[in-house]
């Protein structure tokens, strides 16, 4: 019978008492948890100790490296194109990956967007894409490399099960133990997967506001700095943009609704904030890929990005011409008074969309492609009493009541126009 070099209780106690974990302790506890030697209740205690006492830069870097070492690594170095990658920390109405991936690929850049599904009030990119008839999320490594190398150059697909399996176990545990908001655990979770995916350059979209994990600018900057530092320590060219998530992004929340809006952006239209953020992220990715003079705005306007989108969807079995699903039941929320819309709480609207069927409480729950919310007015708009503000969509009308409960107090109307930020991009965090 083999003897373990450490005892889980000793590692937990060290972090509980505020000590810095050693590299051998971190390597062992991640490996032992992946093997099942460290039990869920022990890792829960360690996660809470990390939540309460934090980790320094060296600890987080080692924790991230240990999670990467728990599984496989991908390698895109054989591709004939440079690669560029983006990750968003998640928000409400965040459909940016859909227009962004084909837009960057226009300029002979490979864009491997390995994405996930939604949980709670934040939407999942794969759930959105599965609104498209025939589209499939699961690709073999060979299919992915062909699509990136000689195909359209962009892929949106599910990450393989072999990438950072320790993170998959720990992520599920954090979700049930109140430790999701820990910056060391968020940063190491995101960056372990991205580094394992073979990322050489990465633009991080770190959301700030009520609909984000990070509610304040200070916390968002701390998370962004931690992730950029982790990237730098691993040899990844990483930069972060801090972006506003106090209100939903764009005019739609929900799977098919957001695909429809993303296609509008690819056709040269769409909401100004979605277009602005898509272009800002595209410029960062193109700079990192050695294309600083590329003009992504022109590629939206002249149809090149739309052409790549259609090729990308077809390459994964989807029909870009098929009509998107539409809800069988709709309801509206109207303004109670006249004035200006001063705020639309992203969290309340995200929860309402989830309750309509667009999201899931557990990872195995189904989602409705048709469910979600259209924003018929946004902050800064003048409205009259009785004017529709939101249109709710679902296949199951018994959900309307609970969705409306989530919207109580989510929309503020005042006598004066609000002082809104001039840009959805609030700041930038570079490598030190």
pLDDT tens track for 207-223: 999 988 899 999 999 99
pLDDT at residue 280, as a whole number: 98
Say if residue 161's pLDDT is above 90: no
Task: Kindly report the backbone phi and psi dihedral angles of residue 243, in degrees, each rounded to the nearest multiple of 5, phi listed first.
Answer: -130, 150
Q: From CA 348, how far away is CA 170, in angstroms rounded?
A: 27
Confidence bin at 172 (pLDDT 50/70/90): confident
User: Which domains occur in the chain, in start order?
Assistant: 8-54 (1.20.970.10), 85-322 (3.40.1030.10), 329-414 (3.90.1170.30)
276-301: pLDDT as tens digits: 999 999 999 999 999 999 999 999 99
Which residues are marked as active site? Answer: 87, 167, 174, 189, 193
H-helix or E-strand spanning residue 398: none
Say if residue 344's pLDDT is above 90: yes
Q: Are strands 329-334 and 388-394 parallel, antiparallel or unpaired?
A: antiparallel
Say if residue 256's pLDDT is above 90: yes
SS3 364: coil
Kindly give, in sequence order, each residue whose CB lies less than 8 Å from that of residue 393, ignoring residues fewer than 6 positions away. Answer: 254, 257, 326, 327, 329, 330, 356, 370, 371, 372, 373, 374
pLDDT at residue 384, as a whole number: 98
Say if residue 34's pLDDT is above 70: yes
Q: From CA 386, how far away is CA 43, in angstroms rounded?
A: 52
Say if residue 391's pLDDT is above 70: yes
Say if residue 260's pLDDT is above 90: yes
Say if residue 1's pLDDT is above 60: no
What is the mean pLDDT of the segment spanning 407-428?
95
pLDDT at residue 363, as a whole number: 67
pLDDT at residue 359, as a whole number: 84
Q: Write down the H helix ranges in 73-205.
A: 97-105, 125-129, 141-149, 165-177, 183-196
Higher pLDDT, 314 or 77: 314
Confidence bin at 119 (pLDDT 50/70/90): low
SS3 240: strand
Average pLDDT, the chain: 94
């Amino acid at each position: 019978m083999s003897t373990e070099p450490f005892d889980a209780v000793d590692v937990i106690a060290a972090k509980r008492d505020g000590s810095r974990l050693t590299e051998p302790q971190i390597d062992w506890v991640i490996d032992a948890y992946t093997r099942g030697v460290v039990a869920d209740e022990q890792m829960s205690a360690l996660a809470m100790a990390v939540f309460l006492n934090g980790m320094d830069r060296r600890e987080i870097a080692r924790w991230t490296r240990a999670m990467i070492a728990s599984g496989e690594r991908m390698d895109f170095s054989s591709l004939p194109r440079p690669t560029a990658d983006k990750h968003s920390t998640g928000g409400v109405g965040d459909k940016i990956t859909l227009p962004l991936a084909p837009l960057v690929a226009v300029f002979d850049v490979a864009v491997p967007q390995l994405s996930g599904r939604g949980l709670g009030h934040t939407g999942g990119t794969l759930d959105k894409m599965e609104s498209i008839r025939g589209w499939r999320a699961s690709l073999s490594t060979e299919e992915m490399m062909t699509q990136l190398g000689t195909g359209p150059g962009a892929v949106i697909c599910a990450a393989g099960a072999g990438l950072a399996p320790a993170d998959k176990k720990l992520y599920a545990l954090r979700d049930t133990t109140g430790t999701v908001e820990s910056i060391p655990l968020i940063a190491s979770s995101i960056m372990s997967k991205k580094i394992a995916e073979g990322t050489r350059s990465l633009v991080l979209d770190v959301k700030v506001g009520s609909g984000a994990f990070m509610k304040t600018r200070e916390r968002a900057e701390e998370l962004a700095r931690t992730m950029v530092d982790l990237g730098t320590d691993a040899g990844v060219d990483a930069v972060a943009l801090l972006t506003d998530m106090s209100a939903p992004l764009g005019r739609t929340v929900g799977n098919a609704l957001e695909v429809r809006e993303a296609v509008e952006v690819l056709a040269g239209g769409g909401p100004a904030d979605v277009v602005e953020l898509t272009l800002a992220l595209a410029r960062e990715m193109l700079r990192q890929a050695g294309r600083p003079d590329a003009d992504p705005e022109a590629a939206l306007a002249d149809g090149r990005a739309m052409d790549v989108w259609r090729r990308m969807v077809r390459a994964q079995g989807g029909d870009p011409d098929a009509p998107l699903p539409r809800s069988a039941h709709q309801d509206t929320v109207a303004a109670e008074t006249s004035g200006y819309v001063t705020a639309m709480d992203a969290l309340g609207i995200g929860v309402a969309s989830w309750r309509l069927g667009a999201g899931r409480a557990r990872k195995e729950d189904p989602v409705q492609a048709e469910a979600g919310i259209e924003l018929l007015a946004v902050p800064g708009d003048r409205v009259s009493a009785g004017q529709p503000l939101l249109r709710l969509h679902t296949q199951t009308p018994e959900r309307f009541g609970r969705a409306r409960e989530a919207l109580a107090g989510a929309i503020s109307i005042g006598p004066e126009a609000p002082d809104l930020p001039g840009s959805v991009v609030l700041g930038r965090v570079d490598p030190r």
